[in-house]
Amino acid sequence: MTIARALTIAGSDSGGGAGIQADLKTFQELRAFGMSAITAVTAQNTLGVQGIYPMSTEAVAKQIDAIGEDIGADAVKTGMLFSSDIIICVAEKLQQYKWEKVVVDPVMIAKGGAALLLKESIRALKQSLLPLAYVVTPNIPEAELLTDMQIISLEDRKEAAKKLVAYGAKHVVMKGGHDPAEADEIVDLLYDGRDFYEFRSDRKATRHTHGTGCTFAAAITAELAKGQSVLDAVPVAKAFIQAAIEDTLHLGHGHGPTNHWAYRERRNNR
C-alpha cells in the first residue's frame, strides 16, 4: 500500500488549534502520514499570542533535511515562517528536494491580531516562495497585503488572484471568510491560471474559528499528497473545515479551536 506523505513547515501553537498541531491532526484525519519542521515556537491560547520564539535557519534547514534525506514528502505545506531568512531557507530546501506540490498558506496575522510575519518579510514571500507555490491559500486581508490592492468585490478577488499567479503561483485559493458582504454564506475562489471556480458554504456565527486557515490548507495538502488534483482537493478541504467549524468543541475563553475529528465522524455516521 502506498502511504501518502505530507510535510508541514510552520510554527507551533501551544494551544493546539493552529500551526503544526492543526496540520498534523488534519493530515492524520485524512489518512496522510504527517511530518513537521518547526519554524517558531509560540506561546498562545484562545485569548491570544503571548510570545513568539523563532528557530534559527540552521534548525529549520536541519529539520527539512531530516525528512528530505529519508522519508521524503508527496506534498508540503508552509505556514508561519516569520522572517525573511526563514522564508529564503525554506525556498532553497523546497528546490533542493524538488518538491513540487507545495501549498503556501501565507500566515501573517493571528486571530487576536498578533503579527506572525515581519512586515519586511512580505517581499521575500512574494519573490522567493510564491514562485514555488503549487497552491497559495490567502484570506482576503493576506491577499490585499500580497497584491497591494484593496479587495471589496468578487471581481477584486479575481483580479488579486491573477496577480498572485503572475508572481508564479500555479493555483490560488482565496478564502472568503473575511468578506463582510457575504453575511449568510462564504465563497472561496479557486483560480488555476485560466478558469475560476466558486465553492460556497453557509456561514456559521461562532467565535470558535482559531486555526481555520491552517486546517483548510492542510486538508488540501493531504489530498494532494494522496494524488488528488487541486480541483478535487478543494471541495474535500471545504467539507473538512465546514464540519470542523459547525461541530465546535467550545474550548477556551476566546477564539476557540475547530473540531478536527468532525469530518471523520460525519462520514462514519452516514
Q: What are the DSSP calls for 185-210, one per residue? A: EEEEEEE-SS-EEEEEEE----S--B
C-alpha cell at 179: 468578506
Contacts of 205 (CB under 8 A, 6+ apart): none
Rg (CA), the chain: 17
Check pLDDT > 60 for residue 53.
yes
Q: What is the amino acid identity at position 196?
A: F
Check pLDDT > 70 for residue 110.
no
Spatial CA neighbour of 172 closest among 138, 125, 128, 211: 138
Average pLDDT value over all residues in the chain: 92
Catalytic residue ranges: 175, 209, 211-214
Confidence of residue 178 (pLDDT cuts 50, 70, 90): low
Name the residue with higher pLDDT: 219 or 178: 219
Location of C-alpha cell 520564539 = 53
Confidence of residue 181 (pLDDT cuts 50, 70, 90): low
Location of C-alpha cell 500551526 = 19
C-alpha cell at 57: 535557519
Alpha helices in the chain (DSSP H): 19-29, 57-68, 84-96, 122-124, 140-147, 154-166, 212-225, 230-246, 262-268
The CA distance from 218 to 77, in Å, is: 7
Spatial CA neighbour of 258 closest among 31, 16, 67: 16
Check pLDDT > 80 for residue 109.
no
Rounded to a whole number, what is the distance in angstroms from the first to the last CA of the chain? 26
pLDDT recorded at residue 112:
53
Confidence of residue 202 (pLDDT cuts 50, 70, 90): confident
* CB neighbourhood size of 28 (10 A): 16
Span 64-78, mean pLDDT? 98
C-alpha cell at 62: 536541519
DSSP 256: P
pLDDT recorded at residue 117:
67
The answer to whether the CB of 104 falls within 8 A of the CB of 133 is yes
pLDDT recorded at residue 176:
84
pTM of the model: 0.94
Confidence of residue 82 (pLDDT cuts 50, 70, 90): confident
